[in-house]
Structure 1
Amino acid sequence: MPEPWNPESYLETLVSEVLSGSGEQRAGAVAGAALLLACTGFTAESDALAETWAEHDGAPPPEAAAHALAHRAWAMLWAARGGAPGWAESVVPLDLDAEERKHRERLAGDRWSTPRAAGPVTELAGLDLLRSGLDDARGGSALPALEALERFLSGPDAAKAAGRTAVAESAALAAELAAAAGERDRALGLLGDLVGEAAGAGRLPDLLTLAGCRHLAPLFVEGAIAGPLGMNGQWADRYSGELRAALHARLSVGHVPEHGELDWPGLVDAVLTARGGPDLPTVTAPPPATAAELHACESRLGVRLPEDHRTFLRTANGLPADFAFPELLGTGGLAPLSTAGSAARSTARSTSDDPGSVELIRRALPDGAAERAIQVSTMSDLGVLLLVPSTDGWAAWEFDWTLGITVHPSFRDLLASHLSLLRRLA
C-alpha cells in the first residue's frame, strides 16, 4: 500500500526542486505550490509565493498561462476571489462563460470511444453506467450524472481502478453540476471523496482539472479541500515561507546561475564555490595559462587541444582536487596517456589488473584511442580524466575507480557534470 499523501513530504520535494533542480523543475515546483495554496483557501500565501517568483523572473509562475487548462484554472480561481491579483496582470483575461462550456465538454467527453482492454463484466457495466450519466450531463442536468457516478463508485475496487482518470474527471463534473444546481452539500461530499481517495493513494488530486470547474472554484477559495489534504494555516505559512526563502537563495543577485548560463570564468568560480564548506579552506583558481605556455604545451603534445579545453586553460591553468574529483592539470602537466606511466593510486598494486593501471584504461578505450588520448588530471584514489579524440571531436572520459566509466561529450560537459554533483552534495 502506498503511503498517504502528506504536506511535509510534498514540501520537502518542492524545496529540493527549487534549490537543486533544473529551471523547469524549479518553475514547476513554484507553480504547483502556488496552485495548491490557492485551491486550499490560502490565497494570501499563494500570492506571496507567486510575487516572489515574479520579482526574480519578471513574469507570473509559468503554469498560470502555460496551456489552456492551467490558464482556465487560474482564471476561475481569480474570478471566485473577486479578481486577479497584481502578480497576474500580464495574464490575458478569459471569457469565463466560454471556458465553462469548454471545460464541461472536456469532462463529459466520450472517453470510451477508443479500444480498451477487455475486463470483467462488472468493469464494463460500471463504465457504461457512468457513460450514460455523462451523456445526460451534457445537457446540464446534475442528477443523472450524480446517480450514475454513485452507482459506479459503489462497485468493486477493480472497476474504479480501471478508469481512475475517467472516474476522477467524472467526479469533478458531477460535483461541478451539483454546485451549479445549488446542491452544495452534495458537491462538497463528492469533492471530499475524490480528494480523500487521491491523498490516500499517495498523490494529489488533479488540481488543474478541479479548479477549472467554475462552480467549484468558490469552494476551493473557501478552503473546502484543505481538510482532506491536511492543509492548515501553519502548513500554508511553511509552504509560502520556505519556498520563498529557497527562491531567494537560488535566484537572488550573486547566486550562481545554472552551468549552461555561465561563461568559463563563471563556471570555474562556480566549481570552486560549490566545493567549499565550513571544513574546507577557501580555494582560488590558478592564474590563466599564457599564450606561450599553451603553445609550448601543444607543441610538446603534437596536437591542438579541443577549443573548450584551451579556453579552460586560458581561464585557469588547472584546478585543485576536491573530495570527488582529481586535480585538473595545467599546461605543464598534460601528457599523452601512452607516456603517463603505470602508477595509479597511492596504494596501487603492480598487477596489470589494478583498477588504476594504465593498461586497464587502455583496454577500456576504443581501438587506437589510447595512443592519442591526453591525460588531463592526476591519477589519484578518485580516478583519472582523459580527453579522447572521436569522430565528432574530443570526448572527455571519466574513470572513477568506484563508479566506473562515464563518457562526456566534451570537457565542458565533464566540468558541468561535476558542478551538478557538487551542488547536489552540498
Structure 2
Amino acid sequence: MERDDYLETAVRDVLTGDDLAVDRRIGHAALLLATAGTAGPADRLITQWQAVTGRPASALAPDAVRARGWAMLFEARGDRPQWTEALPPLDLDAEEHAHNAFLTRQVSDLDGLFEGSPAAGAVGALAPGKPDPVRTALAAADLDGWAALVANRPEPDVAALAATRALAPRLVAGADPLGLGPEWPHQCAGALIAALRERYPTGPESWPELVAAILRLRGQRSSNPATAADIAQAEHRLGVRLPEDYREFLAVTDGLPADVVFPRLLPARALRAEGDVVIISEPATVLLTHAGGDWHAVEVDLALGSSAHPSFRALLEHHLRLLEASA
C-alpha cells in the first residue's frame, strides 16, 4: 500500500463521495490505523466523524467481518472506547469460529461478479473453487505472509486482518504489518478530520462559544472583554471603524494569548494601523485589510506564504479546525 496515494484517495472520497462512501472510507481508515497499533488516532478519527455527521458507530461496521474486527481489537486492547456504544457486544468464541470458516472458504474467480442476480448461485456452483492465499495466510496467523501478499493493494482488507483473533494482540501491541510507521497514522487522522470538517462544516454559533472552544483546546483562559469605551477609543485612535465581527470578538475577549502556531492577538488598546491595514497581533502576522468596502483577515507567513480569509471570524474558525484536527 502506497501511503501517500491512499491518503490522497481517502481525502478525495471524504470531500466528494456520498455519505455511504464517506462512512466506508472512514471505517476503513480507522481500522487501518488500529491494526497498526495506533488506537489513539483511530479513536480520534471516529470521534470527530461522529461529531460532524451525527451517525452511529454501527455505520462503520455494517457487516459481520468489520464488526468482528473491532470486537477482536477491543478484546486485545482490554477496553472499549466511548464511541463504541452503538456497537452491540459479540460472542467472541462464536465469532472466532465464524471467521475461521470465512478465511478457509474456497472462492472462485467469479465471486461477486453476479452478486444480486438469480444466476449467482448457479454460476458460483459451476466455477471451480480454490483457497484464497490472503485469507489462508490469516488463517495460519502468518502476519508477514499476509503483509507480503497485500503490499501492492491500494486498500488492503484490514477488517479480515483485525477479525483474526490470534493476530489481534500482536496488532494492538504495534506489529504494524503494513509498515505505516509511528507518525503517518497521526498525519492520516489529521488530514481526514480536516476533510470531514470541510465536508460537514459545523462550529460554535456564538462568539462566546467559539472563543471558549479555542481556549479549551489550547488549555488556556480567556482575557476580560473589552468595554464599549475601549473599542471606541481604539477606533478613534486608528481612524477607522473596525469590522463588526472583530468588534464582537473584542466584546467577548480583549485579545487572545499566543498558541504554538498562532500569535498573540492584541487587546484593543494595543492595535495599530498602517494605511488600510490594522495590525491585530504580536508579532505582526495577523492583519485586517480594508479594500473595496470589505474587510479581510490575512495571516502572514514569509516562509510558506500568506493566507487570506474572508473575515476575522473565518480566520478563527480555521484556527479552531486545526486545533480540533491536532487534539
**Within the alignment, does 1:192 sit opposite 2:93 as a pair?**
no
Any stretches of 5+ residues in structure 1 without a counterpart? 65-76, 83-104, 111-133, 151-185, 211-219, 237-257, 277-282, 339-371
Give the whole-Å Cα distance in 1 for the aligned partners of 2:49 and 2:125: 46
SS at match of 1:389: strand
Give the whole-Å Cα distance in 2 for the aligned partners of 1:189 and 1:425: 39
> Structure 2 vs 1, CA of residues 301 and 11 (structure 1 numbering), >3 Å: closer, same or farther?
same
CA contact (8 A) 1:327 1:377 kept: yes
Bigger CA radius of gyration: 1
CA contact (8 A) 1:388 1:394 kept: yes
For residues 289-333 of structure 1, the C-alpha deviation after alignment (integer angstroms, 9 at most, x for no partner) is: 112222233334343322221111000111233333222122222
SS at match of 2:255: coil
**Any residues of structure 2 matched to 1:21-420 within 5 Å, and which?**
23=51, 32=60, 38-40=67-69, 42=71, 45=74, 49=80, 52-53=82-83, 60=86, 107-109=112-114, 138-145=120-127, 147=128, 191-192=135-136, 196=146, 199-201=150-152, 203-205=155-157, 225-226=164-165, 230-232=167-169, 235=172, 260-261=203-204, 263-276=206-219, 284-338=221-275, 372-378=276-282, 380=283, 383-390=284-291, 393-420=294-321
Give the whole-Å Cα distance in 1 for the aligned partners of 2:253 and 2:280: 13
C-alpha displacement at 1:417, in angstroms?
Answer: 2.9
Structure 2 letter corresponding to 1:294: I
> Structure 2 vs 1, CA of residues 107 and 193 (structure 1 numbering), >3 Å: closer, same or farther?
farther
Structure 1 letter corresponding to 2:122: G
**Any residues of structure 2 matched to 1:1-40 within 5 Å, and which?**
7-9=35-37, 11=39, 13-18=41-46, 23=51, 32=60, 38-40=67-69
TM norm structure 1: 0.43
How many residues of Structure 1 are paired with residues of Structure 2 in the alignment?
A: 247
CA contact (8 A) 2:57 2:84 kept: no
Give the whole-Å Cα distance in 2 for the aligned partners of 1:292 and 1:224: 64
> Structure 2 vs 1, CA of residues 27 and 15 (structure 1 numbering), >3 Å: closer, same or farther?
farther
Give the whole-Å Cα distance in 2 for the aligned partners of 1:405 and 1:44: 44
Give the whole-Å Cα distance in 2 for the aligned partners of 1:297 and 1:315: 16
> Structure 2 vs 1, CA of residues 42 and 330 (structure 1 numbering), >3 Å: closer, same or farther?
closer
Give the whole-Å Cα distance in 1 for the aligned partners of 2:209 and 2:52: 21
Q: Which residue of 1 aligns with 2:14?
A: none
Structure 1 letter corresponding to 2:156: L
Give the whole-Å Cα distance in 2 for the aligned partners of 1:392 and 1:323: 33
> Structure 2 vs 1, CA of residues 405 and 45 (structure 1 numbering), >3 Å: closer, same or farther?
same
For residues 104-153 of structure 1, the C-alpha deviation after alignment (integer angstroms, 9 at most, x for no partner) is: x993349xxxxxxxxxxxxxxxxxxxxxxx999524353423x2x76xxx
Structure 1 letter corresponding to 2:36: E
Give the whole-Å Cα distance in 2 for the aligned partners of 1:22 and 1:402: 36
CA contact (8 A) 1:286 1:316 kept: yes
Give the whole-Å Cα distance in 1 for the aligned partners of 2:57 and 2:39: 9
C-alpha displacement at 1:374, in angstroms?
Answer: 1.6
Bigger RCO (CA 8 Å, 6+ sep): 2
SS at match of 2:43: helix
Structure 2 letter corresponding to 1:309: Y
CA contact (8 A) 1:18 1:25 kept: no
For residues 213-232 of structure 1, the C-alpha deviation after alignment (integer angstroms, 9 at most, x for no partner) is: xxxxxxx9xx97545xx324
CA contact (8 A) 1:286 1:319 kept: yes
Give the whole-Å Cα distance in 1 for the aligned partners of 2:262 and 2:202: 17
Aligned-CA RMSD value: 5.2
Give the whole-Å Cα distance in 2 for the aligned partners of 1:28 and 1:413: 29
> Structure 2 vs 1, CA of residues 267 and 7 (structure 1 numbering), >3 Å: closer, same or farther?
same
> Structure 2 vs 1, CA of residues 28 and 12 (structure 1 numbering), >3 Å: closer, same or farther?
farther
> Structure 2 vs 1, CA of residues 33 and 141 (structure 1 numbering), >3 Å: closer, same or farther?
closer
TM norm structure 2: 0.54
SS at match of 2:236: helix
For residues 171-210 of structure 1, the C-alpha deviation after alignment (integer angstroms, 9 at most, x for no partner) is: xxxxxxxxxxxxxxx6x87843799477444643285xx9
CA contact (8 A) 2:73 2:168 kept: no
Give the whole-Å Cα distance in 2 for the aligned partners of 1:14 and 1:204: 16
C-alpha displacement at 1:272, in angstroms?
Answer: 3.2
Q: Which residue of 2 aligns with 1:96?
A: none
C-alpha displacement at 1:32, in angstroms?
Answer: 4.5
